[in-house]
Amino acid sequence: MPIALRGKAKAWQRRDRRTQFAIWSLWLAGTASFVFCCQFIADKTIWPFVFDAPEQVADLAVRMVPPDWTFIGVLWRPMWDTINMATLGTVMAIVLAVPIAYCAARNTTPSAAVLRPIAIFVIVSTRSINSLIWALMLVTIIGPGVLAGILAIGLRSIGFCAKLLYEAIEEIDEHQVEAVRAMGASAPQVAAYGIVPQVMPAFAGISVFRWDINIRESTVLGLVGAGGIGLPLNAAITTLAWTKVSLILLVILASVVVSEWISAKVRRAII
């Protein structure tokens, strides 16, 4: 316990001098780099536009109410496409994530030297590229449309699902696996009866959780041409039809709330 002498009395201190100094210098370095970065951002900002913002907000608020409810009939189809992109993309990601997770988990990988690093690399690289960038890439390659959106969502989700799944596989109880193996089960039987039942709840939870995130992500993929509700959103913004924009935002908000509710419900039922 760090104690300082004040005159002759001993006084309690939270930290000793060295730790205090180290923490203080970390704060100094952090603040300095923050200010340095702010300087760069400030140089690139056109300040009159920023000061103008309150008027812009007020102006837009007036233009956006009331939402144009007659437009809703056109939105069902893109909304259906959005949900399909999220769902089919999640299905695709799960199907691909299972073997990758199996190869990446330390206790199940067939070869720790070759397959595991490859699997880890696939997980990291698919996770670090945002679904919008995947969509941007796929739209230029296979053309605009729902398919590009499904693939973008799927590719982006592989890393996420595989990472959580392989962590779940690494945490299983080895005794159960050993018991199944001791009965003379082959490798596929060990996987089916020793590993799968243990990771099944985690697996279902991960899938539903990712589906919920994907609903949110697929609402914007239309901005780069990959189908869904983002297409009419983009069209409404570029034509400055703000009453339509506010309606689309309400629809998106509703779908996000509903999907979050479903996913919370399902996860509670599983766990």
Partner 1 sequence: MSVAATAPGGWRKPPVIKSAALRWAIWIGAVVYLAAAFGTTEVNWSRVWEGLPRGARFISAFLPPDFTTRSSEILEGMLESLWMTVVATAAGIVLAVPVGLGAARNVAPAPVYYLCRAFLAVSRSFQEIILAIFFVKFFGFGPFAGVVTLVVATIGFYGKLLAEDIEDVDPAQAEAVHATGAGWLQWINYGIQPQVMPRMLGLALYRLDINFRESAVVGIVGAGGIGATLDTAFNRYEFDSAAAILLIIIGLVMLMEYSSGFIRRWVQ
Contact string (CB under 8 A) for partner 1, positions 222-251, x = contact = -xx--------x---x-----------x--
Rule CB under 8 A: which of 140-159 touch partner 1? 140-143, 145-147, 150
Find the binder of partner 1 among 53, 62, 113, 182 (CB under 8 A): 53
Contact pattern from residue 157 through residue 186 relative to partner 1, giving x for each residue in contact according to CB under 8 A and a dash for the rest: ------------------------------
3-state secondary structure the chain: CCEEEECCEEEECCCCHHHHHHHHHHHHHHHHHHHHHHHHHHHCCCHHHHHCHHHHHHHHHHHHCCCCHHHHHHHHHHHHHHHHHHHHHHHHHHHHHHHHHHHHCCCCCCCCCCHHHHHHHHHHHHHHCCHHHHHHHHHHHHCCCHHHHHHHHHHHHHHHHHHHHHHHHHCCCHHHHHHHHHCCCCHHHHHHHHHHHHHHHHHHHHHHHHHHHHHHHHCCHHHHCCCCCHHHHHHHHHCCCHHHHHHHHHHHHHHHHHHHHHHHHHHHHHC
Q: Show the tokens assigned to 71.
A: 């437009």
Is 30 a binding residue for partner 1 by CB under 8 A? The answer is: yes
Rounded CA-CA distance 35/147 in Å is 44
- Report in angstroms how near the CB of residue 173 gets to partner 1 at its nearest: 18
* Choice between 187 and 253, CB closer to partner 1: 253
**How far is the C-alpha of 106 from the C-alpha of 3, rounded, in Å?**
46
Instruction: Provide the minimum distance between the beta carbon of 229 and partner 1 in the complex, in angstroms, as a whole number.
Output: 11
**Residue 117 binds partner 1 (CB under 8 A):** no
Q: Does 189 bind partner 1 (CB under 8 A)?
A: no
Q: Does 193 bind partner 1 (CB under 8 A)?
A: yes
Task: Please pick, from the candidates 133, 183, 187, 250, the single residue that binds partner 1 as defined by CB under 8 A.
Answer: 133
The structure tokens listed for 157 are: 């989700």
For partner 1 (CB under 8 A), the number of binding residues is 57
Interface segment toward partner 1; rule CB under 8 A; list 99-107, 110-118, 129-137, 171-179: 129-137
Q: Does 74 bind partner 1 (CB under 8 A)?
A: no
Residues near partner 1 (CB under 8 A): 30, 33-34, 37-38, 40-41, 44-46, 49-50, 52-53, 56-57, 60, 80-81, 84, 87-88, 124-125, 127-130, 132-133, 136-137, 140-143, 145-147, 150, 193, 197, 200, 216-217, 219-220, 223-224, 233, 237, 249, 252-253, 256-257, 260
